[in-house]
Structure 1
Amino acid sequence: MPHFTFEYSANLDNQVDFAALCRAVHETIMKTGLFELGAVRVRTIRCDAYAIADLLPENAFIDMSFRIGVGRTKDERKATGDAIFATVTDFLAPLFATPHFALTLEIREIDPDLSWKKNAIHPRLRAKSS
């Protein structure tokens, strides 16, 4: 962990460079110093079917979900959320110039007893940094 997901309305495809946005969030996550490089995942999920607010076709959304393992303080989680939200808000500034865009972020801790992982990336990156 951490796993960061952008879930977004398909009408944003021509308005947002999601590859660049993923890289910007990845960089912000790494700058916190709270997460190991081999664990970071940032991805998008495009939603083709959606109904937003008053159903105007120009209404759009991005819902961000950040799932992390336990072990960070509430202050660390809050600072991380603030940093990510600022990065994304700055990146998407043109969308906020319209009255049709909604952005949300939620951070969730994963119960370690109910989470299974196998990662071949960690050993490679750990050996590289030694």
Structure 2
Amino acid sequence: MPHLVILYSRNLEHDVDMTAVCDGLAEAMLTVKDDDGKAVFPTGGVRVLAFPAPHFAAADGGTAGRLAGESGEYGFVYLNLRMGRGRSEAIQQRAGETIALVAKTLFSPLLEKRRVGLTFQIDVGPEVFDAKFGNLHPLFQKVM
């Protein structure tokens, strides 16, 4: 953890490089620092995953858009950051602002091309069950 999941309408596949978006958002997550200048998110825990929604309805389904001269093919991008408990509200806000700013930058070319609804939310615990048993974290821990 933290995991940033991106769900987007499949009609955006050809208009946005989602791999570059994932890379950019992962980098943004790693730049978030606490008040002592330490990374808020552990490198080995950062995950950014993107999934196209093959079936969707966005906005009004396109009818009003077609009447207004638009293509009617609206799209959406939903970003959800899930992080564990223990970070202050100020740190959560800082993370949100940092990631939102980078997301706006990464998606700005898309917004210039077409009509898209973007949503970004952050969820924080409480977890009912939380098990971590991978081997990535040790790769990024400093040996003293």
TM-score (norm 1): 0.91
Whole-angstrom distance in 1 between the partners of 2:88 and 2:140: 26
More helix as a share of residues:
1
Give the structure 2 partner of residue 51 of structure 1: 57
Identity among equivalent pairs (%):
28
Q: CA RMSD in A?
A: 1.4
Query: Which of 59, 76, 90 is equivalent to 1:61?
Result: 76
Whole-angstrom distance in 2 between the partners of 1:12 and 1:80: 26
Query: Which of 67, 85, 101 is equivalent to 1:70?
Result: 85
Whole-angstrom distance in 2 between the partners of 1:62 and 1:51: 12
Give the structure 1 partner of residue 16 of structure 2: 16
Whole-angstrom distance in 1 between the partners of 2:43 and 2:139: 11
- Which range moved further: 63-72 or 91-100? 91-100
- Which SS does the other structure have where 1:66 is aligned? strand
- Which range moved further: 106-115 or 17-26? 106-115
Structure 1 residue 71, shift from structure 2 partner:
1.0
Whole-angstrom distance in 2 between the partners of 1:91 and 1:101: 13
TM-score (norm 2): 0.83
Structure 1 residue 29, shift from structure 2 partner:
0.3
Whole-angstrom distance in 2 between the partners of 1:59 and 1:15: 12
Structure 2: 5+ residue runs without aligned partners?
33-38, 63-71
Q: Cα deviations across residues 90-126 of structure 1 (Å, max 9, x unaligned)?
A: 1111233356211001101122442222121112322
User: Which letter does structure 1 place at the counterpart of 2:134?
Assistant: N
Whole-angstrom distance in 2 between the partners of 1:3 and 1:29: 10
Structure 1 residue 77, shift from structure 2 partner:
0.6
| Alignment CA distance shift 1:12-1:99 (3 Å) | closer
Q: Cα deviations across residues 64-95 of structure 1 (Å, max 9, x unaligned)?
A: 00000111111111111111111011111123
- Which range moved further: 94-103 or 81-90? 94-103
Query: Which of 45, 48, 51 is equivalent to 1:42?
Result: 48
- Which range moved further: 104-113 or 31-40? 104-113
- Which range moved further: 23-32 or 91-100? 91-100
Whole-angstrom distance in 2 between the partners of 1:123 and 1:95: 37
Whole-angstrom distance in 1 between the partners of 2:126 and 2:134: 18
Give the structure 1 partner of residue 67 of structure 2: none
User: Which letter does structure 2 place at the counterpart of 1:78?
Assistant: Q
